[in-house]
A and B are shown apart, each in its own frame.
Chain A
């Protein structure tokens, strides 16, 4: 029985080969058209099952957040949540601002500003890390650019690292008062999120 079926199949295959050698017939057309239709349909049907893992509407609804800065005194810092990520907001002292402004570009590990409000190739000067007229405010995403830990330096008693900014305890990355990487394994400065001052004491992130 089995042998007979093989013969049947091979005879079909032979017939197929011959028909290809000649003109494609009605059956060839139907097979190709049918399989193409089913293939395209199958791929399209797959999309919803992939797209369902993208951020849903509740995640997109958290895309922007407003922060009142008035309670944050000079030298203090707060951490707010934006898109589930911690955002560091520090009211820097004049000494800290001056220390950040005095740094030469050649001393930086990463010379790019990493500021979503500026062009991608802007230099990592303190002016480019802050907003004009509000230079005391440093707003940065508090996620170490090495492997995603949250650096220390927000709370009063925290270790702030060799440059007085932030220090990531996971693998020892030191950030300065403009949240630029100065020492350790992290490759980039802390990211500056897109934000604007809606008033002198209020910012909108996102």
Chain B
């Protein structure tokens, strides 16, 4: 598909003139209009487009908020209040940005689980998957720094706790951890200096994400999309042009997603936040119960499950780093879990584990929750390091459809050219 050539024919004289000098029209037409997409894509595949929408929404609302926000320890908290009370439509734009972060993670987790279920990381999509993990990491860093900006109690103590993770390096080389943490803070404690640099980086990182997304989409358009059957496009009846078919489906998914998004923005804008963040940051008092935003809770549970400072930090970062190796940990011969009778159950147990870790991450760090968190943390890693390699070898996959066309139309379909044309969705 890398050799997929554009059939773009500019109609206007200016179009022809431009195309000879900068073939951007042909590129867009070839990659986003007539680009062949598998005809069996389901709604889980609309989340790529939804994530594009989330990124664009965060960029637009974020640039607007930066016009009114003041990144100083004295003014940050008040300026968010000012945005919500005084700035024209500020209440709405601030809610869109704060809720948008949560919605971004709802979409990205769905997208990642979809990739895991349908084997979207398997050859030849390893680089595509790894770029996705990098985007996920950049998103986490951006969201973490963004949560610091309102400078409430949860912002302040969240920053304190998470930056202090690096102090665990002291147990490897004494002094290094402390030096790193003081370097991150720009002082001997979290202060306005820390807030200022977090604001700068919070503005920078989204553009890094844009760059990574461009590479992610490029890699996708070289290898082509995976699909629920996990088969490659082999014949012309296996695919439909991206426009209007995939685009129209994406738009339906986006509107459904936007309804949920708008419901939070307009009816419960602060529901996903924490009430302690409506108290201004106070370096002298820690709130009784520190929790991160909901989308970090599973990782927070893993951190607390390990009864060693360095061990907890290593496990938490390891839980994301392990994703980078998934393309080689999975030994299965087929991509899609639809045709993997044993793996399928382990997959759903893994989904349950992530939800359970998220639930436990919000609870106090005491028994019996710590034991439960340890059990689920064990399964989290076992899923990748033991189950993926072993199940892939011992499992006999179910019979795959002969082609993507057969996956949609049943066995024997698409053999004759006439049958495919007659049943194709283009027929009106």
Contacts and interface: CB of A to CB of B under 8 A. Distances in A.
B93 A56 contact: no
B12 interface: no
A interface, by DSSP: helix, strand, loop or mixed?
A: helix
B428 A52 contact: no
A11 B86 CA distance: 55
Interface string A1-14: 11111101101100
B interface, by DSSP: helix, strand, loop or mixed?
A: loop
Contact of B241 (A9, A15, A58): A9
A27 B428 CA distance: 10
Nearest to A15: B428
A53 interface: yes
Interface in B320-364: none
Closest 7 CB pairs of A and B: A48-B89, A57-B86, A4-B236, A6-B7, A56-B86, A5-B241, A51-B88
Contacts of B4: 1-2
A54 B87 CA distance: 8
Interface in A4-60: 4-6, 8-9, 11-12, 15, 27, 48-49, 51-54, 56-58
B93 A52 contact: yes
B230 interface: no
Interface of A: 1-6, 8-9, 11-12, 15, 27, 48-49, 51-54, 56-58
Nearest to B428: A15
B92 interface: yes
B90 interface: yes
B67 interface: yes
B4 to A, nearest CB: 6
B241 A51 contact: no
Interface in B185-243: 233, 236, 239-241
A52 B89 contact: yes
Given A2-B7, A49-B93, A52-B64, A8 B241 contact: yes
Interface in B66-89: 67-68, 82, 85-89
A48 B88 contact: yes
21 contacts: A1-B4, A1-B233, A2-B5, A3-B7, A5-B7, A5-B240, A6-B34, A8-B240, A9-B33, A9-B241, A11-B426, A12-B426, A48-B88, A48-B89, A49-B89, A49-B93, A52-B89, A53-B67, A56-B68, A56-B90, A58-B86
Interface of B: 4-7, 33-34, 36, 60, 64, 67-68, 82, 85-90, 92-93, 233, 236, 239-241, 424, 426, 428
Contacts of A1: 4, 36, 233, 236, 239
A52 B5 contact: no
Contacts of A9: 33-34, 241
B87 A52 contact: yes
Contacts of B426: 8, 11-12
Contacts of B36: 1-2, 5
A3 B236 CA distance: 9
Contacts of B82: 56, 58
A179 to B, nearest CB: 34
Contacts of B67: 52-53
A54 B86 CA distance: 11
A12 B4 CA distance: 21
Contacts of A54: 88
A6 B241 CA distance: 9
A172 B236 CA distance: 76
B39 to A, nearest CB: 12
A53 B33 CA distance: 36
Nearest to A3: B7
A52 B77 CA distance: 19
Contact of A57 (B85, B93, B428): B85
A88 to B, nearest CB: 30
A41 to B, nearest CB: 10
Given A2-B4, A2-B5, A52-B67, 16 more contacts: A1-B4, A1-B233, A1-B236, A2-B34, A6-B34, A8-B240, A9-B34, A52-B64, A52-B87, A52-B89, A52-B90, A52-B93, A56-B68, A56-B82, A56-B90, A57-B87
A169 to B, nearest CB: 33
Nearest to B36: A1
A49 B64 contact: yes
A92 to B, nearest CB: 39
A53 B426 CA distance: 47
A5 B93 contact: no
A54 B67 CA distance: 12
B53 to A, nearest CB: 12
Contacts of B6: 2
Contacts of A56: 68, 82, 86-88, 90
A8 B426 CA distance: 7
Nearest to B235: A1
Nearest to B85: A57
A48 B93 contact: yes
Nearest to A31: B244
B6 to A, nearest CB: 8
B268 to A, nearest CB: 19
Contacts of A48: 88-89, 92-93
A9 B92 CA distance: 41
- Best-surrounded residue of A3, A9, A12 (most CB of chain B within 10 A): A9
A117 B404 CA distance: 78
A27 B248 CA distance: 14
A27 B4 CA distance: 30
A35 B82 CA distance: 37
B230 to A, nearest CB: 19
Nearest to A60: B86
